[in-house]
Structure 1
Amino acid sequence: MRLQRLLNFFITALMLFCLDSSAQQALTHTQIEQGIAEDQLHVAAIMNLIKPESSLIALSVWDLADNRSVFQQNSNALMNPASIQKLLTALVSAKQLGQSFQYRTQLLSNQKLDIINGILKNELYVTFSGDPTLKQRHLNALINQLKQAGVHTVNGNIHLIGHHQDQLQAPGWVWDDLGICYAAPISSFIIDKNCVFARLSANGYNKKATLKVMGKRPIYVENEAVFAPYQPSAIPCDLQLIRKDSNHFTLKGCYAGAKSLPLAIAINEPQGYAVNVVKAILKQQKIRLTGKVVVDTTRTISNDNFQPIATHLSEPLPKLIDEMLLKSDNLMAEALLRTSAEDFTQQPLNFKQTTQALVVMLQELDIELEMANIADGSGLSRYNLLSAEHVMAVLKVIATHQDYQYLLNSLPVAGIKGTLKYKRYFNKPPLKHKVMAKTGSMLGVSNLAGQFEASNGKRYLFVLFENGLSPKIQQQQKAPFSAILLQNLMDMPLVHLSN
């Protein structure tokens, strides 16, 4: 027994000697005096051995069973969270909106329907609620109720009701992302995620390609693009999407290869797009409109004063959060945060006001973000700055508060679902099934936050930020740093704390 104690002492001393300065700071003088827990030494030794030299790492690990911190390194450093930001949005949405919340889109009239010989003499109103799941077919079903009532002509205007928003993209969204669907504009008026799909097909090398917009969506794309043969030593061949007014675009440049290329184009004027979609539906339904389709952002609709004709409801909030976290859906995150903040303040908000409301809502859960910088709800903005401890505070509330524990079921699961289903080294043992976490990736950023179940049977919360990651180094890695770290954390020693 004495020999074993001596051996443990020398092992501990060696590990402490090997720790770098930042890891040593994570072990307080009190812990050293009382004896450092074996699991803390385990993580510290791993980090000292495998942490990358070329990127900045922040790590926080929390023992759920014993309610204590196992390890912290750079945990208060402010870094770019990328899509880890969506964990904050999930929590405030759950807090403010509740599990029964559903988005509502309605077709209404200003009085009881007055139909004579198929002619409707009412003014009509479509209320847009910023539903990120609303599709053109849902609007088609609403307007079809007029057809079912025998209406072939509407004598009046159709008013599209929603909030006016000058700012459709958050500060810090990268300019060359704005034409792509993962940076689609946030608005009361969302149809098919404000995204249009198209396909670019070759007509031979260096000849003008053919562009086909899917579903006959009401946008116009002027195509000047060509396909070029692949030449490794040549200057890179790039496509450029130039955004213009009224959802008009120009596609120019070249694409190396011969295979057709799918495109996902974010519209740039949601209000005008909604007007054109409703006009197209009326034409498809063969309903004549004598007036106009107009956007009204000043009117407040109350069902006490208007007659509902048809209603579309979104899925309840847990399903929406599922889609946001599993697919890392940016538009869903921005819509949920905007809706939660406007419900909290009871007024329309811009991006800055929305993120300020997020900070206040999290303060009510004892999560302080005073030193953080929050620019959006999705993590797409380069202006976001969070620490690992900020995110850990959110995870602790989610994991320990009964009202929010269901959010854990919305996290991607290694090898099973979401953005971890096919991720390298996460789709096989020992990580498969054992890690459930939100990913956060963009150029130079590779983050992960959630929980894992170690081989000792205990569950741990963890937040890992990796910023400043070179794309070239990332390509050369045999395995992501996060996978290597978690594989080693799976062997966490079982620690019995004395009372």
Structure 2
Amino acid sequence: MHPLRQRPSGIASLSALLSALLLCACSSSASLPVKQQELLNRLSEQLQQAQLPPNALAFVAYPLNTPTEQLSYQPTKAMQPASTMKLVTSITALEQLGPAYRGSTQLRAYEQPQKTMQQPLVLKGYGDMDFTVQELWSLLQQAYDQGIRHVPAIQIDRSWFNPARPELTALPFDETPREYYNLLPDALFLQRNMLGIRLQSTADSVTGRLYPALQGLELVTTEVRLVDGGCAHWYPDPEQLAFKRQPDKVQLVLQGDFPKNCQKRDYLQLINRSDFSRLLVQQLWQQISGQHQVPVLEQGAAEATVLLAEHQSRTLAEVLRDINKSSDNAVTRQLYLALGATQTDTETELTADRSEQQVRSFFSSIKLDHSSLILENGSGLSRTERISPELMAALLQHAYQAHYQPELISSMPLAGVDGTLKRRFTQTQTKGKARLKTGTLRNVTALAGFVTDPSGRTWVVASFINDPKAGRGRVVLDSLIEWITEQSLTNEQSSKSQ
């Protein structure tokens, strides 16, 4: 495949833009097939209408059984992929960890169970993506069932990831750091560090509650000023909801303005994860054992080798549905770090660095040039991650031929049916005919995956638009998918029609 690689800049005229887009990689020197010419006409017109420069677009598309029919534009250009980068993490994990891989959370001890333990219990996380309050209760109940009634302390060990607490140095990605999609990874992913909050006001007062309710966490609403209107758009940003930690209590203090006669309910990161875990563990152990205010310590505990109880997350094959259909950033980042954490290299090495090594090692093993690849967290929620359309398409082509193909395919949104494509490609000719991962950031729109044409051939597609106004270009990427689902002529048939 040797596509012409032009790199025009600026808003070109229609004829100049068409010249740049005539990039069919057919082996013959014949003129471009009529239907492919029509596609390139359409794409160039839509780029002009969106007022996007031609160098904002990069794509590769070809049938898997005849890759020489490739259409491409800037195929080797390193592009910001947004959430299509989740396919890199998904495929690498299927290769390296296997579809049956499960994260876990373990309750351990330094000694055999007895009524009064001489040493602490240890709650150790291994990237469990499904560890809820109910599962924590179950682990502690199992300790009680083994005869344990009193412990000197409970240790929380997050050391499977290095650093164990990235939030201490990480800068917020955007202006809504409390939202779920901004959640940082944690080896002990307890309730995903998320709390529900419900606020309700009348004309002269405001009340609130948290769920689950936590002893030792106080919601303070006395600093709120009630105002008229604006209920629909009110959001508890960092300036309006303050986290305060005092020696004897933890507070969430609601500040600023709140609309009168308003009800708001959300599920957010509200307090520091160490306080969140401590309060939950203390409360549940007290309910189960009757022991009050057991000390909860954050520290590694490699010597605690007695396994008391364990919870395992869903299999990787199941978790991938969250990652790709729902585009779950938090779970993807957990999985990305698991790639490195499962290795036995030095514990002083950053887990993210080991994860990147795993991805690049995999790419090298299947002889893919990964020079265009830049990794940060494997989710695409990044300003620095990059990949070329050519590399993404080649990775997808490999995955389609792999033994785990069914698990990958079933995790991807189905056009017009579910996931992030539920309301997209709903027209008859495209609905149900594409499995595509979407990607969206302020300056990115992207699609990558597989599309079936009317003759039953499966195409691989990797397409990106990078521009401050990238959202305008979604129609361009959609047109490429629609064209594949509308046409079925092979090159030989196209040549006969000319």
Report Cα offsets for 1:404-455 as digits up to 9, x if no partner: 452111101123221112x2x4234222111211111122322111111122
- 1:255–1:103 CA distance, 2 compared to 1 (3 A): same
Match of 1:370 in 2: 371
Q: CA–CA distance in 1 between the matches of 2:339 and 2:271?
A: 24
Q: Does 1:282 align with 2:278?
A: no
Contact 2:413 2:421 in 1 (8 A): yes
Give the partner amino acid of 2:418: K
Contact 1:132 1:331 in 2 (8 A): no
Contact 2:243 2:252 in 1 (8 A): yes
- 1:320–1:21 CA distance, 2 compared to 1 (3 A): same
Contact 1:200 1:263 in 2 (8 A): no
Shift of 1:198: 1.3
Q: CA–CA distance in 1 between the matches of 2:62 and 2:389?
A: 11
- 1:375–1:248 CA distance, 2 compared to 1 (3 A): farther
Q: What is the SS of the residue equivalent to 1:375?
A: coil
Contact 2:445 2:466 in 1 (8 A): yes
Q: Does 1:491 align with 2:486?
A: yes
Shift of 1:251: 4.3
Report Cα offsets for 1:95-123 as digits up to 9, x if no partner: 111122111212222222223xxx44553
Q: Does 1:61 align with 2:61?
A: yes
Normalising by the residue count of structure 2, what TM-score does the alignment of the two structures yield? 0.82
Q: CA–CA distance in 2 between the matches of 1:221 and 1:468?
A: 42
Normalising by the residue count of structure 1, what TM-score does the alignment of the two structures yield? 0.82
Shift of 1:200: 2.7
Match of 1:272 among 248, 253, 275: 275
Give the partner amino acid of 2:399: I
Contact 2:451 2:459 in 1 (8 A): yes
Q: Does 1:462 align with 2:461?
A: yes
Match of 1:187 in 2: 186
Backbone CA RMSD of aligned residues: 3.3
- 1:256–1:426 CA distance, 2 compared to 1 (3 A): farther
- 1:172–1:88 CA distance, 2 compared to 1 (3 A): farther
Q: What is the SS of the residue equivalent to 1:22?
A: helix
Report Cα offsets for 1:133-172 as digits up to 9, x if no partner: 2111101001111333454x31422222221525239977
Q: CA–CA distance in 2 between the matches of 1:46 and 1:169?
A: 49
Q: CA–CA distance in 2 between the matches of 1:154 and 1:249?
A: 31
Match of 1:20 among 14, 18, 32: 18
Match of 1:296 among 280, 294, 299: 299
Give the partner amino acid of 2:127: G
Q: Does 1:154 align with 2:150?
A: yes
Q: What is the SS of the residue equivalent to 1:486?
A: helix
- 1:208–1:20 CA distance, 2 compared to 1 (3 A): farther
Shift of 1:124: 1.7
Match of 1:131 in 2: 128
Write out the 4+ residue segments of structure 1 that deviate beyond 6 Å after TM superposition. 169-172
Match of 1:12 in 2: none
- 1:47–1:131 CA distance, 2 compared to 1 (3 A): same
Match of 1:310 in 2: 309
- 1:90–1:136 CA distance, 2 compared to 1 (3 A): same
Report Cα offsets for 1:324-365 as digits up to 9, x if no partner: 111111111011010112224545524455334433333323
Shift of 1:131: 1.3
Q: CA–CA distance in 2 between the matches of 1:170 and 1:448?
A: 32
- 1:257–1:480 CA distance, 2 compared to 1 (3 A): farther
* Larger displacement relative to structure 2 (31-40 or 153-162): 31-40
* Alignment map for 1:305-344 (pairs within 5 Å): 306-344=305-343
Q: CA–CA distance in 2 between the matches of 1:171 and 1:362?
A: 28
Match of 2:87 in 1: 87
Contact 1:240 1:252 in 2 (8 A): no
Shift of 1:83: 0.8
| Residue correspondences, number | 462
- 1:372–1:108 CA distance, 2 compared to 1 (3 A): closer
Match of 1:11 in 2: none
- 1:148–1:488 CA distance, 2 compared to 1 (3 A): same
Q: CA–CA distance in 2 between the matches of 1:251 and 1:382?
A: 32
Report Cα offsets for 1:193-226 as digits up to 9, x if no partner: 222221232323xx66433222114755555556
Shift of 1:497: 5.1
Contact 2:322 2:328 in 1 (8 A): yes
- 1:291–1:398 CA distance, 2 compared to 1 (3 A): same
Q: Does 1:211 align with 2:219?
A: no
Shift of 1:369: 2.5
Give the partner amino acid of 1:210: T
Report Cα offsets for 1:218-262 as digits up to 9, x if no partner: 75555555665458xxxx976522464658655444467855222
Match of 1:434 in 2: 433
Q: CA–CA distance in 1 between the matches of 2:170 and 2:112?
A: 45
- 1:481–1:40 CA distance, 2 compared to 1 (3 A): closer
Give the partner amino acid of 2:278: V
Contact 1:168 1:187 in 2 (8 A): no
What 5-or-longer segments of structure 1 have no aligned partner? 1-15
Match of 2:46 in 1: 50
Q: CA–CA distance in 2 between the matches of 1:256 and 1:361?
A: 53
Contact 2:113 2:147 in 1 (8 A): no
Shift of 1:60: 1.4
* Alignment map for 1:99-178 (pairs within 5 Å): 99-115=99-115, 119-121=116-118, 123-151=120-148, 153-163=149-159, 164-168=163-167, 174-178=173-177
Contact 2:434 2:450 in 1 (8 A): yes
Contact 1:122 1:156 in 2 (8 A): yes
What 5-or-longer segments of structure 2 have no aligned partner? 1-13, 494-498
Contact 2:274 2:298 in 1 (8 A): yes
Contact 1:190 1:270 in 2 (8 A): no
